[in-house]
């Protein structure tokens, strides 16, 4: 799915103070493209991902996903858009601690009403992709950081979204494990044609992405 962000503005108001997190940002991502985004703390990276993922709404501007402006969606349409089209991967792995790896991966499919047989089949495919069959009965605290992040990626992929948004997915990982996770994102883009936006401080993303952009002060500068 293509993503076209036009003149995006997001102002946060808390009490009397105002923060302009995005100040007219433009971005054009082609279907199947892998775009890395860098930039200093507070420049608006998470804000941008939240808008594109339909987790939050901009103050002004538009976000066309496959030509449809999601900023005009009703609350219900936005929920549906997220569930069908967006897989979100966070810095902290965001797994349910009481569920095993396999059960965590199955959860989004349960919520989407997928049949038992289809869920089991999909869990098998996803365990292949993240290469973690032998740990599927482990709970998150029985997995390494890298393994937890791979499970979190499988959770994001469960309902087969076309868009993957990742917010510092290697921030909590050591160098080697971080590299493996970035490699996995690369594979998802190339083999499965996912459109990906990856926010990271990790320079090693550059050869794995189609483009690396820098945000400064709520605008893309290069
Ligand atoms: N809910 C909020 N209410 C008020 N201000 C906010 C809120 N969320 C973010 N901000 C402010 O908006 C600006 C952009 O924040 P954002 O989280 O997008 O930055 P970031 O680039 O993701 O930073 P980091 O690299 O530290 O994660 C910051 O100045 C931040 O303080
Ligand atoms: Mg952030």
* 87 close to ligand 1 (CB < 6 Angstrom): no
pLDDT tens string 104-123: 999 999 998 999 999 999 99
Residue ranges making up the domain that contains 44: 3-220
Q: What confidence score (pLDDT) does residue 93 get?
A: 87
In whole angstroms, give the CA distance from residue 137 to residue 100.
5
User: Hey, which of 19, 48, 57, 88 would you mutate to test ligand 1's pocket, going by the most ligand atoms within 8 Å of its Cβ?
Assistant: 19
Greatest Cα pair distance in the chain: 54
The first and second tokens of residue 178, run together, are: 């971080």
Number of domains in the chain: 1
- Residue written as tokens 């979204």? 161
Q: Tell me the whole-structure pTM to 2 decimals.
A: 0.95
- Residue 57 makes CB contacts below 8 A (sequence gap 6+) with 51, 71
* CB-proximal residues (5 Å) to ion ligand 2: 46
Q: Tell me the per-residue pLDDT of 18-60, one tens digit each, with 9 for 90 and over.
A: 999 999 999 999 999 999 999 999 999 999 999 999 999 999 9
CATH code assigned at 88: 3.40.50.300
């Amino acid at each position: 799915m293509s993503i076209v962000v036009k003149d995006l503005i997001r102002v946060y108001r808390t009490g009397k103070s105002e923060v302009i997190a995005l100040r007219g940002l433009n971005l054009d991502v082609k279907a199947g493209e892998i775009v890395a985004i860098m930039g200093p703390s507070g420049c608006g990276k998470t804000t941008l991902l939240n808008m594109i993922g339909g987790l939050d709404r901009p103050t002004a501007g538009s976000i066309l996903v496959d030509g449809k402006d999601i900023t005009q969606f009703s609350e219900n349409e936005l929920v549906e858009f997220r569930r069908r089209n967006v897989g979100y991967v966070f810095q902290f792995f965001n797994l349910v601690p009481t569920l095993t790896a396999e059960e965590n991966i199955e959860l989004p499919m349960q919520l989407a009403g997928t049949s038992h047989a289809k869920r089991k089949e999909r869990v098998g495919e996803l365990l292949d992709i993240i290469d973690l069959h032998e740990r599927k009965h482990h709970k998150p605290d029985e997995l390494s950081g890298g393994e937890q992040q791979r499970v979190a990626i499988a959770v994001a992929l469960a309902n087969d979204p076309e868009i993957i948004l990742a917010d510092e997915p290697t921030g909590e990982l050591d160098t080697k494990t971080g590299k493996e996770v970035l490699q996995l994102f690369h594979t998802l883009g190339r083999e499965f044609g996912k459109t990906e936006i990856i926010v990271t401080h990790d320079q090693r993303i550059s050869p794995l992405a189609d483009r690396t952009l820098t945000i400064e002060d709520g605008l893309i500068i290069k």
